[in-house]
């Protein structure tokens, strides 16, 4: 069976050979096109909304208390392992099948101290990254609100398992401006996320 594809005949045999050799036809990437439906602007609004939601969620005292308790619980478990079972553990020696090895603590310090340092650094980095991203998006949204067209983008609302953002397209500029106002208002009222382990 032959099929005409892109100026050449494509046979079933060639298709099987191509798949088995890992050689596939090159697919051209989607090109950005100008649109009056504000898909890119919608995508930016949804992104900022999600980031502000995560940030705001972590500012609540109850959430911070839960996170701190979990961090402390893990630190306590690591401390218990290092001072209890690991001290008396006998580990089989891979070089000598009849021999045993004793646990040797890490040269970089206690496990609990390493855990606390890691989680403090991780939280600080995540908070800084989220704040930087929000600070980058908000001025662009304010600028796009005044523009005649929105940002360029190609992501449309999907269907079924490929659902896209809830705001996939919005050709009505007034509604789009309201969405921008709502998300900027939420951004300004987000509060401050403090590192729970700092």
**Is the confidence at residue 22, as pLDDT, over 50?**
yes
Across 101-130, average pLDDT: 89
Residues contacting residue 154 through CB under 8 Å, at least 6 positions apart: 30, 31, 32, 33, 39, 40
- In tens, the pLDDT along 77-107 reads 999 988 888 888 888 888 888 888 887 777 7
Looking at residue 177, its pLDDT comes to 81
Of 175, 177, 137, the closest CA to residue 48 belongs to 137
pLDDT at position 1, please? Answer: 45
pLDDT tens digits, 29-87: 555 555 566 777 777 888 888 999 999 999 999 999 999 999 999 999 999 988 888 88
pLDDT at 67: 92
Distance CA 126, CA 118 (A): 12
- In this prediction, residues 146-155 reach a mean pLDDT of 44
pLDDT tens for each residue of 151-171:
433 334 444 444 444 455 666
Please provide residue 89's backbone torsions phi and psi, each rounded to the nearest 5 degrees. Answer: -70, 140
């Amino acid at each position: 069976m032959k099929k005409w594809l892109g100026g050449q005949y494509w046979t079933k045999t060639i298709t099987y050979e191509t798949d088995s050799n890992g050689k596939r036809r090159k697919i051209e990437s989607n090109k950005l096109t100008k649109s009056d439906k504000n898909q890119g602007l919608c995508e930016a609004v949804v992104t900022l909304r999600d980031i502000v939601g995560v940030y705001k969620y972590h500012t609540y005292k109850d959430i911070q208390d839960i996170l701190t308790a979990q961090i402390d619980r893990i630190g306590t478990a690591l401390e218990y392992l290092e001072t209890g079972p690991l001290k008396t553990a006998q580990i089989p020696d891979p070089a000598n099948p009849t021999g045993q090895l004793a646990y040797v603590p890490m040269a970089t310090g206690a496990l609990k101290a390493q855990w606390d340092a890691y989680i403090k650094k991780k939280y600080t980095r995540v908070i800084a990254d989220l704040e930087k991203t929000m600070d980058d998006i908000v001025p662009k949204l304010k600028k796009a609100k005044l523009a005649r067209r929105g940002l360029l983008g190609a992501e449309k609302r999907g269907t079924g398992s490929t659902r896209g953002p809830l705001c996939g397209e919005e050709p009505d500029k007034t509604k789009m401006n309201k969405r921008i106002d709502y998300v900027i208002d939420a951004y300004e009222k987000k509060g401050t996320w403090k590192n729970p382990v700092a």
